[in-house]
Amino acid sequence: MTYVSDEIAGRPAGRRRARRLTPAGLPAQVHPSGATVSRSPLDPLADPVRAQRLAAETAERHGLDPDQPLGLGRPVLLATS
């Protein structure tokens, strides 16, 4: 069960509704702030995978290696003893 929108709406845990990701009226409430409500038949845990795939494809399209991101490195190596 997913309670994402109930947490946003601030409902107590005992009063949460299952099987509804966005409560009625939520898109209209967030629209003035410039936010977008995304609706997808996929499980919400699939979204990070889609974002990672997009990032990897974008890096490759620009000739970059997604496994070696620029500006990231291992600053400290711990000695093993």
For the four alpha carbons of 69, 72, 73 and 78, in that order, the dihedral sign comes to negative
Burial 27-56 (b: 16+ CB within 10 A, else e): eeeeeeeeeeeeeeeeeeeeeeeeeeeeee
Predicted confidence pLDDT, tens digits, the chain (81 residues): 444 555 555 555 555 555 556 677 888 888 888 887 777 777 778 888 888 999 999 999 999 999 888 888 777 777 887
The CA distance from 39 to 30, in Å, is 14
The CA distance from 39 to 28, in Å, is 14
First to last CA, the chain: 46
Q: What is the pLDDT of residue 61?
A: 96
Q: What is the pLDDT of residue 80?
A: 80
Q: What is the pLDDT of residue 3?
A: 47
